Amino acid sequence: MLSMRTWSWAPIALLGLSSTVWAGEHWWNRWYTSQSPTVPGSRQSYHDGKMWPLAPRSTGPKEPFVHVYHTNANWPDPYRWQDRTNMRASMNAQVDRGWLTTQTLYDQHFDPETNELNLAGRHHLTWILQYAPPQRRQPYVQAATTQAASDVRVATAQAAAVNIVGAGAPPVQLRICQPYDGSGVEAEKIRRDFLDQSPSPRLPYVPLINGGNSATTSSAGS
């Protein structure tokens, strides 16, 4: 049986306990915080000579019951946001590589003898510096077979860039790569063949007569 001296200390002890709970320092808060890194889902365990289930699973400690409840109640969060982030990162990487290809001056943009910009190269450089989105106006130059030829390409492209946009032109950077498309002659041939072999429109042009089409007028007259 508790003595009167013990009961006299009970209110003070409860007051200290409640202050600790309200301050978020109770032992179970600390314990749940320590369990936060646990992975949701079932665990893989060894029995009967194999690990079960056969599909890979975490082998760490199980989640507390309250964590299991909230994991099930909030599914598919946070996994759908992780999936979206991974998908967007993959798509952004592809977009960046595509723009890097567009921002590069390749072999067909330089004279094969002097390694200076030709007319197509100047047109493409103008498009990069004036018409591409502002964050994509960094020109690159495909490296030539020799360092001397690469230096000439960078120098002539840099001089052309300064001539196009002035002293604020971005520095031209050298890039070791291969072109993804064919020569300019091949591209021109494909374009000309497409224009020459385009079929005639399937729907014939019917002029309007007196506010209606000719077919309606002819049928009404007959």
The HSE-up count of residue 187 (CA atoms within 13 Å, CB side) is 7
Q: Give the predicted TM-score (pTM) of the model.
A: 0.59
> Does any domain span residue 14?
no
The HSE-up count of residue 79 (CA atoms within 13 Å, CB side) is 8
- Specify which residues 45 forms β-bridges with: 52
> Does any domain span residue 43?
no
**pLDDT (0 to 100) of residue 190:** 87
> Does any domain span residue 133?
yes
Compute how many other C-beta atoms are within 10 angstroms of the C-beta atom of residue 137.
17
> Does any domain span residue 196?
no
Contact 70, 38 (CB under 8 A): no
Burial (Cβ within 10 Å: 0-12, 13-18, ≥19) of residue 211? exposed
User: What does the block give as tokens for 115?
Assistant: 């390694």
What CA–CA distances, in Å, run from 164 to 46, 126, 177, 202?
70, 7, 25, 45
Give the domain range for residue 129: 96-175
Taking the alpha carbons at both ends of the chain, their separation in whole angstroms is: 120
Q: Domain count of the chain? A: 1
pLDDT in tens, the chain (222 residues): 445 454 454 444 444 544 444 444 577 778 777 878 788 888 888 888 888 887 778 888 888 888 888 888 988 888 899 899 999 999 999 999 999 999 999 998 999 999 999 999 999 999 999 999 999 999 999 999 999 999 999 999 999 999 999 999 999 999 999 877 666 678 788 889 988 888 877 777 677 776 555 554 444 444
**pLDDT (0 to 100) of residue 219:** 46
Compute how many other C-beta atoms are within 10 angstroms of the C-beta atom of residue 110.
23
**pLDDT (0 to 100) of residue 222:** 45
